[in-house]
Each structure stands twice: as structure tokens, then as C-alpha cells.
Chain A
């Protein structure tokens, strides 16, 4: 039997601090790496008491059997993960889940990444570049330090536009400002926008009037990630869709963002409480 079957733990091969509270992990998970593709995600548990939390696949290496994820420390699970170093293990790591993004039918694509959303568009840019269809990329963040994967994105894009809220790098303003400017002056077949819900919604509002196809990646709350719990349901064009099996990418012009926002925040109070409790214990 192949060696990749009997993995009891998933080892962190490499860890890089990309910014304050943002870490990149390369994790040994051959079963998740084997069939991984851009746009898909994994679910991990840090330890035996851990929650199952989805993370977008930021990169993967089928040969080495590794999957790369970007993690922003925002709550209990991500904080516990932030304490892990290269050589440590996480208890569970399953994937690839969800459907790959298929942008192959589009000629010229504009990728838009906000904050940690850069993780999602990174493998996509890499793939499009390898197909000879290097995309234009807009990367946005609050400030210069939070612009993730900027060197990689420069390599894989035909042109890279950075935007920071404070103007510390690239243009000053939001990604939507740049998107509005670009779609005015250039011709795109599709936009893939990934980032916080309000950012994705804002991009959709910019592209809607001109009818430019805009795909967004829904980062819903999940439990199993395989279509069993229904927790990640999203209303798309009036229909109920499951982000884990129907998505995670949907036509952004049809997504009910208001509902998605409510659903995403539903467990926030409980999670905060748990986060405070476990940090209290460790201190």
C-alpha cells in the first residue's frame, strides 16, 4: 500500500511569518495534495479538542505531498495554530474539498484579492500564467505589510496593481477603485474576486452595471465540508446552494451577501468566549 495512506498526524514542514498575525504553513498531507487544484480548500483540526475549520489552498506540491495555507490569527483555532512551529503536527487535515475554479474558458481575467484572499487567487494566477493567459491582478490590503504574496503575484500576473487603504504601497484606496478604473479602460472576460464579504460584494457592485462576469469565493462556516451538515448554505439566484459541494465559487452577481454576512457571524460570540477562555488558561 502506498505510504500516503497511514498518516496519523500532519506535519508542518515549513512556517513563514508573512505579516503581523499572518502565517504561511506548508503541511505534509499527501492525500490532500494529490488531487488539489486552484479554488479548493482543506479542513483542519489543530488538536483532538479542535474545531474543524476550512482554509483555502494557497499552494500545493503534488510531488512532495504538501499543501500550503495562509492563516490569519483571528480566533481560537488560528491562535492555537499560530503557536505551532515547523516540525509540529496538526491532528487532522482533509482535502481537497469543494470544486476547483475553472477559468480556462475565459481569455483575459482580472483577479482581485483582498487581504488573506490573496491566498485564493495565488494558485489561480500561477495556473493561468502556466496556460499562457497571465491575468491582471489587483491586490489590496490595509497597509503595505499586509499585501500578501506580492512577489509571487508579480511573477504570475501580466500586470499587478497594489492598493492600500493608507497609501503605504501602490495606490491609495480600495481594490474597487482600481477595478472600476481597469474595467473602464481594459477588456476582461471575467473577474475573480476573493476576500472579505464586504470587499467581494463591493467588487460585484462595480462590475454589475457593465455585466462583467464576476466570480466570488464564499468562505462560509462549515462542519464537515462534504455536504452533510448544510451549515455553509448560501442563497444564489434565489436558490439554496452549499458552498462545500456546489462552490465555494459562485456568480457574485447572484449571491445574497446580506444573508451570507449574517450567517458568517452567527457563532462569533461563542467563538470569542472560547478564544478568551483558552488564552486565559495558557497565560
Chain B
């Protein structure tokens, strides 16, 4: 009979909530082998069908079981170019692990933790060797998950790839968005370094649509892939949102994650609120709340207009946030931010769930007369993003939908010949792994157009 699922150790909540060290400590070798041994090595592995990039899960788990850890990484990198990233941030519980036959009865194999364990064997793992050069050139715009995975597959097939990044640092959301305590930046750097060894050229400080236009790139490259990510942060359009002390989660997290504002030597300032309100309940909201706690807040409250069941964040992230003392104020919505020169209070209203909306989620309805005020000195809006207009404005022939999301076909072709797009820029906000699979799909289509096969 299968043994119970092994869980990696976590840093103690009381200690970790005041530092930026990684929360999940990962498996040691012994536990990894033990967990790998739980895998039944199904003939028709359902777990693989749950993976957006189709990693050969039983094969890499078998390698771990046999003690060949770098070999396990090599199995994963055949399909997934960022295993140590995905092992940490993929929602495995709704993907691969949700399909595991051990599932409900014994607990699914901890595929995510094993992927991370193998992925971290990046040092010593063999670099993928680039294929013979095809002579074809591709410009990849954005060095986030979509761009990186697209670039890696193209490099493997002999394409000359140049990645253009607007920031001074590569990684996109992996660098500016996801905090150090969930995804250490040395991991991101190591994964990108391996891509550079594969032959990709990286150009930072290049804003496509400004520094260079699509039409200029088209003169120099055979293909272009747009993986520019999400865009403008959303706000609620309530009074007081312009007050100092109100910021988007993007701003708050970028100051800390990318600009290292938590470090006293960093020149970049960040607000260190004592009594912080985070509006929203996705993974970004959890990241912002937990970061505010780590910057020294006395109290951090997540305000969400629906109930716990509708919170879009991963269950694990919600649990970790609560363990760290973050309070959830559910069925509540801000109506006004109040302050004289800076944020002092937020006025909230209680809500109840009404009829389901077009996405099937029950719509929150304000309860009349239930308004109340709460003191706060910092409000962080984690409400998602709307598409960034910089690139699309500079290239009118690039068709977008009514929201400004770049229109693509099933493999990522845009309305401009030779130009592909994927990730949040072409789908709206989604996950790292979905962006990666979009990057891979576009790479496959480009390779096929050039007569190759992936």
C-alpha cells in the first residue's frame, strides 16, 4: 500500500514572516527518493495530461528514485526550460497532481516538490547543446516565462535568437513580480544563464515600440515573438486612490523584488506601512501582503469582496499567508480611501454573494447600510492588469481585441505575418506555466514553418 505523501519542510512562520528567505525548504535527497518511490509509474500517466507543457513526469521521477538527479533534470528540460521555477510556482494541485491516481485516497505524488528538487540540480546538469544553425533569426520580445521558453526551444533547433528586455534585469514577472521568499532570484539567474549558454543573445534596456519598433525588427529578423506580459495595473476607480500611500501591487513588488528596496543599501525607496490593507485575493495579493509583513508591518489585512471559496490564489499561498498572521477580511469591498495628504482610513462595505457572473463566479452585492471605516497607512491594489498599450500603439497593424489584448490564432500567430505572441500579452493575466506553453507553441509553429519539427 502506498505510504502517505511526503511534504517538504517549511521555514517557521514566526521567523520567516520577518525575512525574505525561501519559505519552502524543499526535499532532501532521502525524502526525494522516498517520495519518488511512491510513483506507480502508470503505463498511461494521467499526470502528463495535466501538465500544460507535457513534461514526462514518470520518467523524471524514476530517475530521482534511482538517484540520478541531474538525469531527472535533463528529462524535464526536454519539455520545460524552467524546471526549478515551475517546481516552485506552478499550481500543481490543479494540474499534474490533480490527475495522479494516488489522488484522493493516498495523496498525490508531490510532483511539484520533486520537479523543484530535480530542477535545482542545474549546477552539474548537462547543458542542452544547440543544434546546427538554421540561419534563421528570431527576435523575442520580453524575457519573462513566455519569451524564455520560446527562445529556449528555438535555440535548441538552431535558430539565432535575440531577446529584448525593457528592464535592466531579465526574467520578467519572475524577477519583478514573484518575491524572493517564493522564488529566489539566484534560481532565475541560473536558469537564464543556461539559456545564454544555449546561444541566446540578451539585450536589456530595450523597450520595443519605443527604442526599436516592430517594423525595424522585421527588417533584421525573420520572426518576432511578443511575450511582453501583462500591462497597466488596475485600480478600483474609487475616491482617494490618488492619495500617497495607495499603490498597485506591481509597484510595491517591483520596488522590493527587482529594485531590492528591502535592502538598506538600495537607492530605491518603498513604503513600510504599519497597518497595511491589500485589496484582492489572487497570488499577487498574497505576495504583496506577505511582503508588507516582511517589511515590518504590525498588521496586514487582505480585503476581498467574495468569500474564501472564490479566492483565486493557490490554497497553499493563502495558508502560508494566514500562518504568517495576515488577516482575511472577506465579503468586504473598499468604497473610499480617506486621508489628509496621505492615506489614513479606508471606508469599506460588506457584501453578499448574488447570482453567478459570466465566468460562473457568484457576483458580490453590496449590503446597504453596512459601511464602516478602518484605519490604515498603506493600501495596495492587487486587482490584476489591463494590456499595455506601448507596443500595440506603435504597431497599428497588430490587431487587438476590445480590451487591447493581442489577437492570436491557436499557435500564437498575430495579424502581422511573421509575428507571434503569447503569454499575458495575448491572453490577459494567467500563470507562468501557461505563458511558457504559449511560448513553446509559437516556437513549434516557427520551427515548422521553417521545415523543421519539434
**Contact between chains at B210 and A95 (CB < 8 Å):** yes
Q: Across the interface, which residues of B come within 8 angstroms of A256, CB to CB?
A: 242
- Does B211 lie within 8 Å of A34, measured CB to CB? yes
A274 interface contact, C-beta 8 A: yes
Indicate with 1 or 0, residue by residue over A240-272, a CB within 8 angstroms of chain B CB atoms: 101001000000000010010011011100110
B129 contacts A by Cβ under 8 Å: no
Residue B77, interface by CB 8 Å: no
CA distance A6 to B342 in the complex (A): 43
Task: Tell me, yes or no, whether A89 is within 8 Å of chain B by CB.
Answer: no
Residues of B close to A86: CB separation below 8 A: none
Contact across chains for A97 and B210 when beta carbons are under 8 A apart: yes
**Does the CB pair B201–A51 fall under 8 Å?**
no
What CA separation (Å) do A49 and B265 show in the bound complex? 7
Q: Name the B residues within 8 Å of A271 (CB-CB).
A: 269
Candidates B167, B212, B267, B388; contact of A77 at CB < 8 Å = B267
Judge whether A180 is part of the interface by a CB distance below 8 angstroms. Answer: no
* Least Cβ–Cβ distance between B407 and chain A, in angstroms: 20
Shortest Cβ gap from B380 to chain A (Å): 11
Flag if B205 contacts A94 (CB, 8 Å): yes
A160 at the interface (CB under 8 A from B): no
Q: Do residues A262 and B244 form an inter-chain contact, with CB atoms below 8 A?
A: yes
Q: Which residue of the partner chain, among A1, A223, A226, A262, contacts B259 with CB atoms under 8 Å? A: A223
Chain A min CB distance to B285 (Å): 15
Stretch at the interface among A130-138, A185-193, A229-237: A229-237
Determine if B233 and A230 form an interchain contact, defined as CB atoms under 8 angstroms apart.
yes
Query: In the complex, how many angstroms separate the beta carbon of B429 from the nearest chain A beta carbon?
Result: 13
Residues in B with CB closer than 8 Å to A6 are 201, 203
Candidates A1, A52, A265; contact of B268 at CB < 8 Å: A52
Interface bits B261-305 vs A (CB < 8 Å: 1, else 0): 000111111110000000000000000000000000000000000
A264 CA to B255 CA in the complex, in Å? 16
Decide if B235 touches A97 in the complex (CB within 8 Å). no
Complex CA distance for A268 and B266, rounded to whole angstroms? 15
Q: Is B227 an interface residue (CB 8 A)?
A: no
Kindly list chain A residues whose C-beta atoms are within 8 Å of the C-beta of B267: 49-51, 76-77, 274, 278
Q: Closest B-chain residue to A231, C-beta based?
A: B251
Say whether B204 contacts A226, CB under 8 Å: no
Query: Contact: B269 with A267, CB < 8 Å?
Result: yes
Q: In the complex, which residue of chain B has the Cβ closest to the Cβ of A273? A: B269
Q: How far is the CB of B244 from chain A (nearest CB, A)?
A: 4
- Interface pair A1/B220, CB less than 8 Å apart: yes
Shortest beta-carbon distance, A234 to chain B, in Å? 8
Decide if B211 touches A51 in the complex (CB within 8 Å).
no
Contacting residues, chain A, for B268 (C-beta < 8 A): 51-52, 223
Q: A35-B211, A51-B259, A224-B166 are in contact. Are A229 and B233 (CB under 8 A)?
A: yes
Contact of B168 with A91 in the complex, beta carbons under 8 Å: yes
Within 8 A of A (CB), among B432-454: none
Q: Are B251 and A230 in contact (CB under 8 A)?
A: yes
Q: Can you list 20 pairs linking A and B with CB atoms under 8 Å apart?
A: A31-B212, A35-B211, A51-B266, A51-B268, A52-B268, A77-B267, A97-B207, A226-B207, A226-B390, A228-B231, A228-B232, A229-B233, A229-B247, A229-B248, A230-B232, A230-B250, A262-B342, A263-B244, A277-B264, A278-B267
Query: What 17 new A-B contacts, CB under 8 Å, besides A35-B210, A227-B388, A230-B232?
Result: A1-B201, A5-B201, A34-B211, A92-B205, A94-B168, A223-B254, A223-B255, A223-B268, A227-B390, A229-B251, A229-B254, A230-B235, A230-B248, A231-B247, A266-B271, A270-B270, A278-B267
Chain A residues with CB under 8 Å of chain B are 1-2, 5-6, 31-32, 34-35, 45, 49-52, 76-77, 91-97, 223-224, 226-231, 233, 235, 240, 242, 245, 256, 259, 262-263, 265-267, 270-271, 274, 277-278
For the complex of A and B, list the 9 residue pairs with the smallest distance between their C-beta atoms, beginning with the closest.
Answer: A270-B269, A266-B244, A229-B251, A94-B205, A51-B267, A230-B248, A230-B233, A267-B269, A92-B168
